[in-house]
Amino acid sequence: MAYKKLFNQSGLTLTVLPVTRVGSEPNQSGQIVATALPVGGKQTIEYGSAQNPFLNGLVISSSSDGAFSSGSQIVTTRGSNWDTVLNTHDTLTFSGAGGLNLVGSNI
């Protein structure tokens, strides 16, 4: 299995749906793992397998004061900036409006 640490600095509870990848190339997405991440929350998620340890994208949503926000990004090219954020860092930190700003790090 593969693991990522998620930190929520957005000020809203987030629903995060990591999209896994089948194989090393981003042409085939795999399973989706759903997790709720409370305000200020820190959580380690488990996804994929030893054969498929890559993420292909994220779907992030939140709601507050009667408004719903959602966004997604999917990797289309191996080695792209988004692929690098998702797959060369062990920690993903969500911030900004609806948690749609994302930074990868190795903590």
Give per-residue pLDDT as tens, 4-19. Answer: 999 999 999 999 999 9
**pLDDT beyond 90 at 1:** no
Cβ atoms of 42 and 10 within 8 Å: the answer is no
Q: What is the pLDDT of residue 16?
A: 97
The predicted-structure confidence for 50-104, as pLDDT tens digits, reads as follows: 889 999 999 999 988 888 889 999 999 999 999 999 999 999 999 988 888 999 9
Q: Specify the CATH number for 2-105; select among 2.60.40, 1.25.40, 1.10.730, 3.30.980.
A: 2.60.40
Q: What is the pTM of this model?
A: 0.92
What pLDDT is stored for residue 63 in this prediction? 87
Instruction: Show me where the domains of the chain are located.
Output: 2-105
- Of 3, 1, 50, 57, the C-alpha closest to 28 is 57
